[in-house]
Amino acid sequence: MHTCGKALGVAGALVTASGVLRDFMINRCRPFIFATAPSPLIAVAVRAALFILEQEPEQQRRLARLVAFTHRKMEARSLRCHSSSQILPYIVGDNAPTMRLASAMQDRGFDIRGIRPPYGTGGNGALANFTDAKRR
């Protein structure tokens, strides 16, 4: 199973399985499949994203280098980040300062989002830096 989302930049998920498992899921999970099925356009977008992953492996290596670079810069400034993905959360504290700081960073060209509880931040506001291989 792959959730697609953040890694591929597409909503939805996919399951790769043997024919037997696929048939079992179609026959036993039909209401779930049809109740949650994404639009066909999403399937096209997922296929295109998977094609890019296969054809442009340098993008993955570049992203890994950018993530490592960002971690080093944060650590050099004693900023702790508990993530190894391209989404780097930084806990700020209260919501109002979090959102002001996110806005100030966005004004300076950073792809920073303010995240407020209850989204996995332990009751604190956080900034999330979204590192992208296509950025300069």
pLDDT tens string 38-67: 788 888 998 898 899 899 999 889 888 988
Cross-strand partners of 125: 93
| Pairwise CA distance, residues 115 & 8, whole Å | 21
Q: What is the layout of strands, in order, in the sheet containing 87-93? A: 87-93, 125-130, 112-115
Query: Which DSSP string do the residues of 87-118 spell out, in sequence order?
Result: EEEEEEESHHHHHHHHHHHHHTT--EEEE-TT
The answer to whether residue 99 scores a pLDDT higher than 60 is yes
Q: Using CA atoms in the order 41, 43, 44, 48, what is the torsion angle rounded to 10 degrees?
A: 140
pTM over 0.85: no
Token match 């399951």: residue?
15
Per-residue confidence at 87, pLDDT binned at 50, 70, 90? confident
* b/e burial code for range 59-72 (CB count within 10 A of at least 16 → b): eeebbeeebeeebe
The answer to whether residue 121 scores a pLDDT higher than 60 is no
pLDDT of amino acid 19: 93
pLDDT of amino acid 59: 86
Q: What integer best gives the mean pLDDT of the chain?
A: 83
Q: Are 42 and 49 in contact (CB under 8 A)?
A: no
The answer to whether residue 103 scores a pLDDT higher than 90 is yes
pLDDT of amino acid 83: 76
